[in-house]
Amino acid sequence: MDANQINQLFDEIAEIYDSGDLMEAERRCHNLCNAYPTYAPAVGLMGVILCQTGRGEIGVQFIEKATELAPAEATFLNNLGTSYTSLKRFDEALSAFNRAIELDPNNAQAQNNIGAVLRPLGRLEEASVHYAKAVAIAPGAGQIWANYANVLMDLDRVEEADAAAQTAVDLSPNYAVAHNNLGTVRQRRGQYAEAEDHFRRALGLNDNYADAHANMAEVLKDTGRVKDALPHYERARELDPAEAAMGSNHLLALCSVDGLNPADIAAAHAAWSGVQATSIPVTRVDGRLRVGYVSPDFRRHSVAYFLEPLFEHHDREAVEVFAYANMPTSGDVVTQRLKGMADHWRDIFGLEDRTFADQVRADQIDILLDLAGHTRGNRLTAFAHRLAPVQMSYLGYPATTGLDAVDFRLTDAWADPPGMTEAFHCETLLRLDGGFLCYRPDDDAPDVVTLPAHNNNGVTFGSFNNLAKVNTAVIETWASILDAVPGSRLVLKAKALSDEATVARLTDAFARYGIDPARIKCLGWIIDGSPLAAYHHIDIALDTFPYNGTTTTCEAQWMGVPTVTLAGDWHAARVGVSLMTKLGLEDWVAPDREAYITLAAAKARELDALADVRAGLRDRIADRGLTDGAGFVKRLESAYREAWDQ
């Protein structure tokens, strides 16, 4: 058989392969390889088929052979890189893609594929350069535009990401990934109705698309429909059980659902991981404790308000501070402050758990703290394998991690009264005397103003919590308060309230309880000036339940606005108790919903007393030690030493 005949036979096999009949394509390709073992196209295609049918380790050997037979063929090298990627042999994949690009810089698929490897490795700028080249080479490729949009989002280049994602949809309107990616961009921009529409379109094209179900759940949760979100979270977990983030998103959502038994929430967390941790030998017993903090939120974020005092006030003769930052970008001004206060800074974004573990062990960390729980960007899958002799959970999450490998959870006796919540935790509760939080107010926080009710015709209540926490029970309760206080108003502020459809849905919910929408004012993100200035118009803050506010409650107090809170029976529902008790404002804590309504109405009638509380709140915060970083960290370090000694 001459060369033309061999090529013709291969073309027939390639057509069969393109039709999707992999079994027949493999049979014929196998015969061709046996007859002509040095014919590179058949050897390479055989490798591709093997990789696509679950035999990657064998398939990659065929593709390697094809690149040896035809070392100048960029397509074979691109296929080799793809097969290495599927086997998680990323260094070899990058080498193969780079060789393909050297041979053919205008190979759009190779440019795209190398970006797909660089992105999860955290090399985002490099990935964006390759994606940009890919779309320049193949401007009509919707799939590549969709990939480009993802990395632009990672880099916080949101407007460019929006344009890229929209281009992907325009070019490939029946490509579910394009709609999903455009939905994520629109959600980031606060355009929740449009985001929801694109997620629904993605699911209409592919109902077995786990990421689209997860994103649909997130947009429903963020717009106050957490119960509607639960089936999507559950479906995402069914479709992609190996992806830990799917489970984490679901667990976080459960914390906002009214009426769930805390024991059931705890059981769901405990079921999240079946990993059995191994023990780490204790190799250091003298000298400073090496303490590592792991977070995706070393930036302007709610966690940072409580983390910064720790970094600033640790006794460097007793504690050596390591920061493990799981962030895709370089951060902001808060990041730079934290970097300046940490003894060691490690960027771990894109590191596999094994590599992250090697770094922690090389640093000889004694106590490793998770600051994220089941929120976005957490590294709990690494904690599950035990990276340090002592592991703790703190700050960023209101419930158990569900991991036996996490030894302690830092809390206090107000948020977790002895005998009440131990059964809801896999961790041992380590209670800090005087409260588990230390707050650092914003440097640019405006001054407290006089009580607005003295100048308005009625009292103004407010809540600036995420709408995920504003469930049906909360709305019904707040409506009862407005009904009990004639002339009162309610101001709500949340990112999702920049979206008109979300505002309409929320005001309609209040209207069902007889509250005129004119009494509800909805604020989205405040960009110009300090967002805390919105408290100038609020007399009384209303806490959410069962998931209380934390940063929002602290901000309200700092701005002179006391918070009515409801005492629940597990940690997420008792943070308000902890904060208000810390400030000596126990009379702002209600034991149940009826008492919560009565208490809010009573406080609204006592304007002179309310004005006195407002005027003295900042001094009270200082006097009661909520902002006393040095004193707090001394107690924290004692707890660290106690845990280490155990």
What CATH number is given to the structural domain containing 424?
A: 3.40.50.11380
* 3 state DSSP class of 428: strand
What is the average per-residue pLDDT within 600-621?
Answer: 97
- Which residue segment(s) compose the domain that 227 sits in? 174-254
Boundary (domain end) residue, out of 254, 277, 308: 254
Confidence band (pLDDT; 50, 70, 90) for 284? low
Cα dihedral sign, 213-215-218-219: negative
317 and 380 housed in the same domain: yes
User: Which pLDDT value is given to residue 274?
Assistant: 63
How many CB atoms sit inside 10 A of residue 2's CB?
7
What is the average per-residue pLDDT within 17-24?
Answer: 90
Does residue 358 fall inside a structural domain?
Answer: yes
419 and 496 housed in the same domain: no
407 and 304 housed in the same domain: yes
Confidence band (pLDDT; 50, 70, 90) for 549? very high
* Residue 402, pLDDT above cutoff 70: yes
Does residue 65 fall inside a structural domain?
Answer: no
Q: Check: CB of residue 256 under 8 Å from CB of residue 221.
A: yes
User: Which pLDDT value is given to residue 510?
Assistant: 98
Query: pLDDT digit string (tens) for 49-72?
Result: 999 999 999 999 999 999 999 999
The Cα–Cα gap between 593 and 599 comes to 10
The Cα–Cα gap between 426 and 400 comes to 6
Tell me how many domains the chain contains: 3
Q: Check: CB of residue 184 under 8 Å from CB of residue 195.
A: yes
312 and 229 housed in the same domain: no
Does residue 51 fall inside a structural domain?
Answer: no
Does residue 71 fall inside a structural domain?
Answer: no
Does residue 301 fall inside a structural domain?
Answer: yes
466 and 427 housed in the same domain: no
* Residue 286, pLDDT above cutoff 70: no
Boundary (domain end) residue, out of 377, 397, 431: 431
Provide CB contacts within 8 A for 470, sequence distance 6+.
224, 463, 492, 494, 506, 544
User: Which pLDDT value is given to residue 526?
Assistant: 78
Does residue 272 fall inside a structural domain?
Answer: no
Confidence band (pLDDT; 50, 70, 90) for 348? very high
How many CB atoms sit inside 10 A of residue 495's CB?
18
* Residue 285, pLDDT above cutoff 60: no
Alpha helices per DSSP H over 489-541: 500-511
User: Which pLDDT value is given to residue 5?
Assistant: 84
Q: Which of 642, 638, 336, 303 is nearest to 440 (CA)?
A: 303
User: Which pLDDT value is given to residue 356?
Assistant: 96
369 and 426 housed in the same domain: yes
User: Which pLDDT value is given to residue 326?
Assistant: 96
401 and 341 housed in the same domain: yes
The Cα–Cα gap between 620 and 171 comes to 59
Question: Could you tell me the CATH number of the domain that includes residue 564?
Answer: 3.40.50.2000
Question: Could you tell me the CATH number of the domain that includes residue 224?
Answer: 1.25.40.10
The Cα–Cα gap between 618 and 606 comes to 20
399 and 467 housed in the same domain: no
Query: pLDDT digit string (tens) for 486-502?
Result: 999 999 999 999 999 99
389 and 357 housed in the same domain: yes
Does residue 405 fall inside a structural domain?
Answer: yes
407 and 471 housed in the same domain: no
Does residue 275 fall inside a structural domain?
Answer: no
424 and 462 housed in the same domain: no
470 and 593 housed in the same domain: yes
